[in-house]
Structure 1
Amino acid sequence: MNDKIIEVVDRQLAAYNRKDAAEWASTYAVEAVQRSIDGEILANGRAEIQKNIAARFLEPDLNASIIERRVYDDTVIDHELIIRNFPEGLGSVEMLCIYSIENNLIKSGIFKVFNKKLTKPSI
């Protein structure tokens, strides 16, 4: 198993949980692309990736944890539990994150969000 492959994804997760947008984005290649599992482009390039995450990082309870991780050559697949502050209240989603790594940076991320649960409705 390539420790460098895992290290960049671990750095990205740690920066996400610290809500450090600059550090989080720095784990992505300058020309990286983020897509939904259906192929929709969510962000194109490191600058757009950083810009898009800024609003998410305003959520006070935001936190991600790994449920399961698989590593195949230069690809890391994380199954994560994400705590979120939704407009309707505190809750969680599960997410599949498929990262392709090149030159110790994330070249692409493909994401599937599922199993949304509301744990504390807004009043």
Structure 2
Amino acid sequence: MLAFGSAQGQTTTQAPAAAVKAETPVQVVERQLKAYNARDAAAFAATYADNVELLDFPAQLQLTGRAKLQAAYTQFFASAPKLRCEILHRSVFGNRVIDHERVTGMPDGKPLEAMAVYEVENGLIRRVTFIK
């Protein structure tokens, strides 16, 4: 936390809210990953924009909206108590975080590998395109 004081160090005040740096796209996606691995649907959904879109490559819409995302992942997490996502490779290009992911603990027992392209806008994930 930033603090400012007088020359004698007698007074201290916090920095204005505007001075606090927003999360980077990587930090947002990493927070989303931690919530996923904890199977915390509310924390997971909190990293997404209200109007989030989940697509299968190249542009097949699978889900729209944070509320639907949270409902879907609440059910999914309940069905997969050993679910875990591991990042095999990550690339960053501006506001896009591109992860090569391996997911284990799926309900069918088979591991899944995919590429996920996360587009972050205003500190939230706005769109994810999965390449399977």
Q: Which has the larger radius of gyration?
A: 2
Post-superposition offset of 1:52: 1.4
Asked if the contact 1:32–1:45 (Cα under 8 Å) also holds between the matched residues in 2, the reply is: yes
Residues 48-100 of structure 1, C-alpha deviations (whole Å, 9 max, x = no match): 1111112220202110010000000110000011003334xx22010110011
Asked if the contact 2:98–2:115 (Cα under 8 Å) also holds between the matched residues in 1, the reply is: yes
3-state DSSP of counterpart to 1:12: helix
Post-superposition offset of 1:25: 0.5
Which runs of no fewer than 5 residues in structure 1 stay unpaired?
Answer: 114-123
Check if 1:98 corresponds to 2:117: yes
1:1-123 correspondence runs (5 A): 4-58=24-78, 59-87=80-108, 90-113=109-132
- Identify the structure with the greater strand proportion: 1
Runs of at least 4 residues off by over 2 Å: 84-87
Report the TM-score, using the length of structure 2 for normalisation. 0.78
Asked if the contact 2:23–2:123 (Cα under 8 Å) also holds between the matched residues in 1, the reply is: no
3-state DSSP of counterpart to 1:57: helix
The number of equivalent residue pairs is 110
3-state DSSP of counterpart to 1:38: coil
The two structures, once aligned, show a CA RMSD in angstroms of: 1.5
Which runs of no fewer than 5 residues in structure 2 stay unpaired?
Answer: 1-21
Q: Percent identity?
A: 34
